[in-house]
Structure 1
Amino acid sequence: MAYNFDIQYRSTSAHGNADALSRLPVGTDPDFDKEEEACLTVVEVSPPINSELIRNHMDKDKVLKQVLQNVSVGWPEKLQPCNEALLPYFNRKFALTINKQLLCLHKAANRIIIPAGLRAHILKLLHEGHWGMVRMKQLARQHVRWPTIEDDIRSLAQSCSICKCNNPAPPREYQSWPAATTAWERIHIDFAGSIFDAMWLICVDAYSQFPFVIQMSSTTSANTIAALSSIFAIEGYPKTMVSDNGPQLTADAFEEFCKLHGITYITTAPFHPASKGLAERFLQSLKFAVKKNLKDGINLNLSLEALSNTLQPGRYILLNRYFRNTRLTFEELATADADDAVLAPLTPGPFLVGYELRPLPEFPPADEYLDNLDR
């Protein structure tokens, strides 16, 4: 060595060159090492939007209170210039009803008019899962309505920073598959993973575009057949199945499985994922939706639950029923008797002129008339 050392022991109390912050006379803290706290995830939990909450906010909304009064006693023939806020409701006065003290719009679905104080919360629930404008509007048209809802949905979807960072690039155009004419006529399958520490089997119906997602422990031919059999046990066997040229999907056992159950099996071009676009497109939606929710502090199970709440149209086409949405609870309105609804009184028309009874004019069907009003 280049140096020789004589090492001497010196007590800590005799040290004078320690940094000031580590030697400040703050006193002893015997409980410091005994307390242990851990915070893994903080999730903001809000109660579901129910009828009682809407009624409480409706009492504070001056516009909706005036609309409720007009629906109950009858609308004037013409609105005053000072009542411009009532014009969107006046144009749809024949479709407005009162059910359990809630203002409803009767069209294809019985939708509740939301007071202004709850609209921001409703928009947050509609955007739960960070879906785009189309999905948000589809979900809103099943439950809620207010005059500017479509503009509010567009503004929220375009201003979400998480969606801006994670949305995919615009897809390129390819030749589409022939349109399916019936449910379960053709399905597209694909594997996803490893994502979120697991492998996933994606199965999408070409007619309803409703997906089935199964978590896989491994992607062997035997496990793939078992996973597909669990789906087919509920939905039945499809006529045609489309997949890529994965080794487990081109194995003899898998081809024999298709032949045994009369399934026409089609493989797409190698290294061309757009050929199985339905499965690939949903795979992108699954990854982006769950990734957004994970960044938003939501765990994997709740992210998948939020995903299932947005697939109502495809589920209805496939099985003619909707999922039960636990975040928007209006079951008592769906099961209410028709006698409970208070219809808006119709203003008498001038059909009696000079005591001479004239025939009533021919009106279009009710559905067509309401559709025209909604435009």
Structure 2
Amino acid sequence: MQKPNNQRYSHLNDSAVGKCMLCGKQHPKTVNGPARRAECRKCGKRGHYAIVCRTLHVSDVKVVHGEHEDSFFLGAITVKDSSDSWTVTLRIQDTDVQFKIDTGSDISVMSEQTYEALNMKPDLTSTNAVLDCPGGKLRSTGRFETSTHYRANKYCFTVFVKTGQSVSNLLSREASAALGLVQRIDNVAHSPSASVGLLKTIPVRIKLKADAVPYAVTTARRVSVPLLPKVKAELERMVKCGVIEEITEPTEWCPPMVPVPRKSGQVRICVGLNHLNQAVERERYILPTLDDILPHMAGATMFSLLDAESGFWQIPLERESAKLTTFITPFGSWYSLDLESRTGASTHKNQAALVRSSSSLLLRHEQTNYYTEARYAQIEKECLSVVWACEKFSKYLHGLDSFVIHTDHKPLIPLINNKDIDMVPLRCQRLLIRLMKFNAKAEYVPGKLLVVADTLSRHPSSTPQLGSVELTDDITALEESTRAAWPVSCSRLCEVIESTQADSELQVVMKYVKQGWPKYPSQLPEYVKPYYAVRDMLSMCHDLLIYSDRIVIPSSMRAEIKGKLHEGHMGITKCRECAKQNVWWPGISKEIQVFTENCTYCQTQKPAQHREPLMTTPLPGNTGKTVTLRLSNMFARWGCPDTPVTDNGPQFSGQQFQNFAKAYGFCHVTTSPYFPQSN
């Protein structure tokens, strides 16, 4: 009897039988199903049946071409009493009809009641147009063509008639524009006012603290020549706007003014009110958060965004408080009539540098290099001369839209004009950062065109001008931060200063720091020579000699300082690390080592548990004796062999083993030397 077809794979494991994803039937997964070469009737691809095809089912849609229905949007359709509605009366079919101007409506609409009241009713044309309005979709009764005129404008348009008692007459956007009732404005014109607005509030009164110290300067900050007319024009504009007034009487508070250039080319007048801000008693006002505001906005449908132009100018000041805002300018002193909200702004010679304007020589400047600057690379020297020139004549250059630097060093042109600041050497980076406040462009002038020899470069000064090097605010800040980092009290610091002044050795060193060191150390006294190797790291601060950021201790206090460093009985390395943070003198590292090693307490508390030294193992000297002893025990138990075969080890080739073989009467045979295969 033949077995059913579904039992043809019964010899396989039942766990391997499952539903095939290609044909949808049950058969072992290891057997190729019948759908491997079949073509799908659904997607047309091979390898599966249509019943298991994964292609998404797409229903065929029959396109039925019918009559096209127009759709129009109506911004308003219901009647609502409003006092601010825009209405107009037009003559329609020999009847005066009142329309509501609706710029959001695509068509004009008339109620059926108004249509019945016309003296000359036109015939209605049926329409399938759909009217979309906020209340839903509507269908009109019909439409008619009519004409009207408003003032000198005539217009023919279509009116749709709608059934209903609450339907108002609407005039469409197109009809309103054609009759001149509305006009589209694409650009909003801004007419600048002569004065800014003022908030309807009481004038602000500035309250000063009881311990407030007035701050006033008597000289205005210098303003570069290109910015002077812009500053004057801005001050005049502020006077016309009623923001400031000129004052001639002296005031206790008078900070300087700083002009800040804008991108538009104008300037912004800033006043350094830092001292006044520190002396003002501030009024606290908690600003509401978004969570506090949202409940009040419930139900709101319209929102306004208001931006107050020059908002702080719109808050008036009391007359007495206004005098506290007095500031000085090159054109006189002024005080604000409105609340100030400004911040201070700060602005900040190898070869002869020429500054030219319209091919006319204005000024010349000479600067001699220091011995460190003389070792610069040539391109760094050229870049340094440009920086010197721009900083020297910043009064004429700062604020210019652009100016040209002429140089005969061609490699300097791409360095200034094109190179990114992070792609140049570090020293050139620092120089280019100093040039960033100038809008300069470099141009190359060949040396053959310099028909007039540069006298200043050919006859420089013998020594650099010390007065030409100015300490910047950064150096001053570094000095103060270094002073604040010293872990020493004021009284203790005064003791160090007095001891330094009484120390003849340090006084001589400080003299060399001020006046300069000789070229050779042999020209120095013997006790000063240890300082010569570190002369570049020595400086003076608050009548103290400083090594880097560490105080140089006079000889009378060094023993006491060493005791302080070793006060916690730390080791040599820890004491040295502590000294590196604050103090220094020649040979301090060696003196700390000697002081720590000679400390009595440290010697008594030194650990006494020493490790046991390593014991050497004696070398074996009786190898042959050990072998004969082991073999004699083996021979006594198993018998003596006739011919033992061994290698050529010293334990077998020695005289002791030969005597052992003769005593036991066996023939000893050794393998071939240097032939380990015979072992």
Whether these two folds match at TM > 0.5 is: no
Between structures 1 and 2, the one with greater helix share: 1
Larger-gyration structure (1/2): 2
How high is the TM-score relative to the length of structure 2?
0.17
- TM-score of the aligned structures, taking structure 1 as reference length: 0.31
Greater relative contact order (Cα < 8 A, sep 6+): 1
